[in-house]
Structure 1
Amino acid sequence: MTGRTVITGIGVTAPNGLRTENYWKSVLAGHSGIGPVTRFDVSRYPAKLAGQIDDFDPGEHLPSRLLPQTDHSTRLALTAAAWALTDAAVSPGDLADYDMGVVTSNALGGFDFTHREFNKLWSKGPEFVSVYESFAWFYAVNTGQISIRHTMRGPSAALVGEQAGGLDALGHARRTIRRGTPLVLAGGVDSALDPWGYASQLAGGRVSTETDPDRAYLPFDARASGYVPGEGGAMLVLEEEHSARGRGVERLHAELAGYAATFDPAPGSGRPPALRRAAESALADAGLAPDDIDVVFADGAGVPELDAAEARAIRELFGPGAVPITAPKALTGRLYAGGGPLDVVTAALSIRDGVVPPTPADAGVPDDYGIDLVHGEPRELPVRRALVLARGRWGFNSAVVIGAVGR
């Protein structure tokens, strides 16, 4: 297929809002989903905050038969997938089962499920461990469970690239569509807010120990001290444009116009990080120049040296202060595989409503960053095209270009 790849459906499960419009209202209002971890006692942990989804009852959204066999992250993914398909108005019989695929990314696996089953193993014995432990922890389980529930038997995949993986899933979905599959459900969701999973995230050394939720995660801010872990993400229905219009789709959220991924050189090589090259390649893939981009949704790690490196890549590509930059993930925490797809959703909503959401800021952006960070209040401006960036630990870089779709 040679037509454009368009987004026809969106499903969001985020710490500051379940469903797309609830999330969007929270983002524009600057409402944060970051707060104290309440699912277990964190008094002895060096960090105590997370982007928790506190208003999600899986029993309200999923069949009871799925609850014993799914981790919390899979329940979120299944729910977001169902919402995305509903938003895309995909009905049984619209497409053959082999014409629909699933591509998801997951960075953390089913930590919560596995932690509970390992506790049974240690305290009671192996006969008490759930048989579902054989797959509920696995990185590919979200792809499998979504495929089974919605009878989507087309080409499918599961990718692991930490924070960059969600954008990789969207890029792989577009490639799958170009090879002939009309519709692919793609995105990413992560969650690991149990004692074991939380400890594993803290072990990376980049989680903020700040106790004030308003100051804990401040991308590109002079007081940045790390990031806050979060949970959730987004699932998107991607389709070949002619196929989507042929089945009567009237609302196209946006076009996935460009995608690229790179990998950083080995530490000590003296070569620069490859984020800028990923951005340049995504623009080239979309047939665009830097001047064509209206806003950049940054990776925004909240770690000073990483923020400085990203600011340098953006400044060198676009020019000092030449393009507005935002990092609304500071309101949700870093969602790992879920972060990139959620930023893509936010970019599509920015295009729809002509407004760029703000980034929480405290002390302001260091002058040497040379970037125009949207902070404090949303900025109204015509948005036709957005660049979304993501970086994963150990050198993954991904970039996606999102564009408006006209009739």
Structure 2
Amino acid sequence: MSAAVRVAVTGLGVAAPNGLGVEAYWAATRAGASGIGRVTRFDPAQYPARLAGEIKEFSGLEHLPARLLPQTDRMTQVALAGTDWAFADAGVDPAELPEYDMGVITASSSGGFEFGQKELKALWSQGSRYVSAYQSFAWFYAVNSGQISIRNGMRGPSGVVVGDQAGGLDAVAQARRQIRKGTPLVVSGGIDASICPWGWVAQMAGDRLSTSDDPARAYVPFDAAARGHVPGEGGALLVLEDLERARERGARQIYGEIAGYGSTFDPRPGSGRPPGLRKAIELALADAESSADDIDVVFADGAALPELDRIEADAITGVFGARGVPVSVPKTMTGRLYSGAAPLDLAAAFLAIRDGVIPASVGTRLSDAYALDLVTDRPRDAAVRSALVLARGQGGFNSAVVVRAVDK
């Protein structure tokens, strides 16, 4: 494996509650347009949490062959379409590439919950003869990687990373490793979608969901009124390539490079040892051969729970100093998308680099308890060359990725 190989992002496929496609998502994000609202995919009246970031414009029939729909969960349908968009954005036709030169490494947090709920209902109400054979894999964590690879003839290194929200960054880091080992192109990122009663109960069991009914103020990280997050569906798929090979083929654009990565695991509760997020940041900076002064914006995890917000704020200020770097949480407009959240933040970071603008953390009123330069209310024009993306998963996962502009 050669650490000298630089890994570029040449294509983005975005599916978010506030926009399908890169430009629709970015226009909504810059405008402060939220995709959070009352759940419509089922009646949420009986549940304490009733808001979500839903993708309301997506129909599998509009984007995929009809034969795939009975085999796949909604999250996989979104992931397949997102991969198509990412390839188109990169100017890559997978049918023209050697099949072993392409890999797929995605993240997953929940698997195909909605498909699984439908089949369990059939089992309970009608019997085992009415359960689809596709249930054997449509629910599985690795199903997105599998279906993407089958649909596009990609037989290179493939896999799935399960680490809640942190998994989205871990998958991209694993893709970078495979490219450094010699695979020219890897599709990576994550798409999650589990807005159904079974998935909803599972999410509520973590005791981290906001129970507010005000879409504008339900999910407000680093705010004195923070009370948990709003879940959402969607995420982003990225086309990663060896930078030199991308240049040789005449890639239509290079959004930037995956410059550094760090990951840690929190110590057990009550151990007296510090949380691991700051160390993950330091590892990512070291891997990128960057200093804190090189980072122009931090895309924060934004748990919106006081204890977790405090840990993240302390990690950021510990590395960058009090109000030492702009901080953004654009997921306040989409909800936390689990494995899809951090890849979507990576997309936002590359678009911030492209357009010189930092999106706002809509709805949040920064508490005086945090010494952060949190971008609120409206986007901030800024020259962005490097960005740090943070993600944490329930259970103690911490991940950080540095992305950087690439000179022409």
TM-score between both structures, scaled by the size of structure 1: 0.99
Which of 155, 170, 173 is the aligned partner of 1:171? 173
Alignment pair present for 1:339 and 2:341: yes
CA distance in 2, matches of 1:361, 1:40: 26
Amino acid at match of 2:296: D
Within 5 Å, which residues of 2 pair with 1:135-154? 135-154=137-156
* Alignment check: 8 A CA contact 2:342 2:389 kept: yes
Partner of 1:31: 33
Amino acid at match of 1:16: N
Could you say what secondary structure the match of 2:166 adopts? Answer: helix
Could you say what secondary structure the match of 1:123 adopts? Answer: helix
Partner of 1:180: 182
Alignment pair present for 1:371 and 2:364: no
Partner of 1:388: 389
Alignment pair present for 1:123 and 2:125: yes
The worse-fitting range, judged by mean Cα deviation, of 194-203 and 107-116 is 194-203
**CA displacement at 1:3 relative to structure 2:** 2.5
Could you say what secondary structure the match of 1:108 adopts? Answer: coil
* Alignment check: 8 A CA contact 2:366 2:374 kept: yes
Alignment pair present for 1:95 and 2:97: yes
Query: Aligned pair count?
Result: 406
Partner of 1:240: 242
TM-score between both structures, scaled by the size of structure 2: 0.98
Amino acid at match of 2:387: A
Partner of 2:116: 114
**CA displacement at 1:368 relative to structure 2:** 2.6
CA distance in 1, matches of 2:237, 2:45: 34
Partner of 1:212: 214
Amino acid at match of 1:223: A
CA distance in 1, matches of 2:341, 2:198: 21
* Alignment check: 8 A CA contact 1:94 1:247 kept: no
After superposition, what is the alpha-carbon deviation per residue over 1:304-359, rounded to whole angstroms, capped at 9, x for unaligned? 11111100110111000010001000100000000000000000000000000000
* Alignment check: 8 A CA contact 2:94 2:153 kept: no
Amino acid at match of 1:390: A
CA distance in 1, matches of 2:22, 2:306: 31
Partner of 1:54: 56
Partner of 2:107: 105
Amino acid at match of 1:178: R
Could you say what secondary structure the match of 2:188 adopts? Answer: strand
**CA displacement at 1:260 relative to structure 2:** 1.2
Within 5 Å, which residues of 2 pair with 1:261-280? 261-280=263-282
After superposition, what is the alpha-carbon deviation per residue over 1:270-308, rounded to whole angstroms, capped at 9, x for unaligned? 011100000100000000000100000000011111111
Q: 1:59 to 1:5 in 2, by over 3 A?
A: same
Alignment pair present for 1:74 and 2:83: no
CA distance in 2, matches of 1:273, 1:19: 36
* Alignment check: 8 A CA contact 2:95 2:153 kept: no
CA distance in 1, matches of 2:247, 2:347: 21
* Alignment check: 8 A CA contact 2:332 2:363 kept: no
Amino acid at match of 1:381: A
**CA displacement at 1:39 relative to structure 2:** 1.2
Amino acid at match of 1:104: T
Partner of 1:160: 162
**What do you get for the CA RMSD once the two structures are aligned?**
0.9
Moved over 3 A (4+): none
Within 5 Å, which residues of 2 pair with 1:172-321? 172-321=174-323
**CA displacement at 1:93 relative to structure 2:** 5.5
Could you say what secondary structure the match of 2:64 adopts? Answer: coil
Amino acid at match of 2:384: V
